[in-house]
Amino acid sequence: MADSTRLLTSWLRAALTSRSRLFWLMVPFVVSASVALLASTNSVYSFQSYPSVMREEKSCSNAAKVSPPMGAHKKYSSLTRVEADLARARAAIQQSLWKNQAYDIDYIPAGPVYRNSVKFQSCMGRSRCSQAYMGLVDKQIIIWVNTFTELCTAGSAYQGLESQKAYLDGITCFGSFGALPQCLSSVTGSQQETYDAHRLVNLRDTPKKSVKRARRSYLEMEKRFKVFVYEEGERPIFHDGPCKNIYSTEGIFINQIETSQFRTSDPEEAHVYFLPISVTRMVQFVYKKDSGDHWGPMKRAFSDYVNVIAGKYTYWNHSLGFDHFMLSCHDWGPELSTSVPQLYNNSIRALCNANRSEGFKPSRDVSIPEILLPSGTTKGLLGGPSASKRPILVFFAGGVHGPIRPILLHYWQNKDKDVQIHQYLPKNVSYYGMLRQSRYCICASGYEVASPRMVEALYTGCVPVLMKDNYVVPFSDVLNWKTFSVEISVKDVPNLKKILTAIPWQDYSEMQKRGRLVRKHFEVNLPPKRFDFFHMILHSIWLRRLNLGIHYRS
């Protein structure tokens, strides 16, 4: 009996050991199968596998990315600390008006190029501020946003002597509270009256207090601004973008912010949070041209990504997206942002397609320049002859699409040797060569308002002539475009030559010089340099964040 018991015990021990070994052997296969099943869903935030080789070009940068720690949620004390830091920045900018500070000659040249930046005031309890309330656990948060008078767009003018006086006294259409000039939809009055108003604005010096504020806000940004970039998402749709076509701004910024000194690895100290989505890559890899629902897949990709962010962190939820921003240079960026109502209504959208008729709000959104870099750099694109060495009055070359260009070509194509208007240039004629021979270069809207022609004109020393309805020009919260460009409405196209020849040579020469002064703000540098296009985009975002407050309600 004892022998039988020992035999049975030995057999059971061996069987259990064998089954245990079999169990542990099968664990990896079970886990792998589960992961494969989970990854096979159609949700974008499962991060589908896309081709690793770009169809058009390689990544803009191969620099190593910073990998911030993930999973932290914003603490009450952290939010209070961030808001206190912003309050100190606002106070420093306001105090700069009364201090006798020397100008930063690397940033602020003499003359009227720089306009009055946003006037920062605490909005708690003020009627001029819009307020939104929301709950967070057992606390309540109050969000205030300065309600600015909308920025005047290209092609608009001021009406009446009082409005002109207000403008010349340094009160602009953006960010200054008080008596503001009225923005009109088009230039009114005769051609001569239009020019007189343009000349009056151009030749009057901007008050020094405006220059001080613009300078100090930039320096405060360099000192304080912290951006947290979400790590979620895989290339090529996330954390990447083009750098050698007309959407270069998108790819270059995404790559530069990820290796920038402004990026923080601690989300608790961030002033803003960046959604590193490339709309251009999304159109390239997700858009289905032959599908009846071509918007659907892209909008789902957008909303799925934000859902992942909102589900993993509280940063989006505690502010309803007010302190988040996206950046897109593709024409479809504004439309895709509508897939997330809080993103469209609350967040900062940095867009090349800055069209007020399509929902762009200058008080919250940021207009960024569209830049074409055929080689990925500005090599060979910068510089041009002086004003006296430009024999052509005005130049344009571009495809006939949109509402403005057909009118331009109808009146001026092959009509006047001084007005060089072309649909396509002959093969033996250089486009950049024509820019450098011309005094004025027309920047007319196509299908959308954005165009690389404004930057191309500034790069080559040609004075931009803006023909764009409802367009908010880039960096207009700091730069006074009326001092280095000309605005002509569509109805004045038949009088194009008359308007441009009526501008005195001295005024034209001054505009060209000022264009050279501000060119640095549109230049792309690898790596970025102070005051270049990368820093100016960040500065515009910084200004919007300064006019946003997120506080716990007592």
* pLDDT one-digit tens code per residue, 393-406: 999 999 888 889 99
Superfamily for 387-522?
A: Glycogen Phosphorylase B; (3.40.50.2000)
The three-state secondary structure class of 187 is coil
Mean pLDDT of the 234-243 span: 91
Mean pLDDT over each residue of the chain, to the nearest integer: 75
Peptide bond into 374 cis (omega under 30): no
Question: How many Å apart are CA 194 and CA 199, to the nearest integer?
Answer: 9
CB 134 within 8 A of CB 319: no
Ramachandran quadrant class, 50 (left: phi over 0; alpha: psi -120 to 50; beta: rest): beta
Helix axes 191-202, 505-518, angle to 10 degrees: 50
Helix axes 76-95, 533-546, angle to 10 degrees: 110
What's the pLDDT tens digit per position in 348-373? 999 999 999 999 999 899 999 999 99
**Residue whose C-alpha is closest to residue 229's, from 193, 257, 187, 261:** 257
User: Residue 235 CB: number of other CB atoms within 10 A?
Assistant: 15
- Which residues have C-beta within 8 Å of that of residue 416, sequence separation ≥ 6? 497
Amino acid 540: pLDDT: 94
Distances in Å between the Cα of 473 and the Cα atoms of 266, 362, 450 are 34, 10, 9
CB 390 within 8 A of CB 439: yes
The domains of the chain are located at: 76-216, 231-374, 387-522
Distances in Å between the Cα of 209 and the Cα atoms of 109, 112, 122, 221, 515 are 14, 12, 20, 18, 22
- Which residues have C-beta within 8 Å of that of residue 376, sequence separation ≥ 6? 60, 243, 244, 248
The tokens for 479 are: 């730069």
Amino acid 408: pLDDT: 94
User: What single letter denotes the amino acid at residue 39?
Assistant: A
Amino acid 9: pLDDT: 53
**Residue whose C-alpha is closest to residue 511's, from 78, 203, 170, 153:** 203
Most confident of 60-74, 141-155, 332-346: 332-346
pLDDT > 90 fraction of the chain, expressed in percent and rounded: 49
pLDDT at residue 138 above 70?
Answer: no
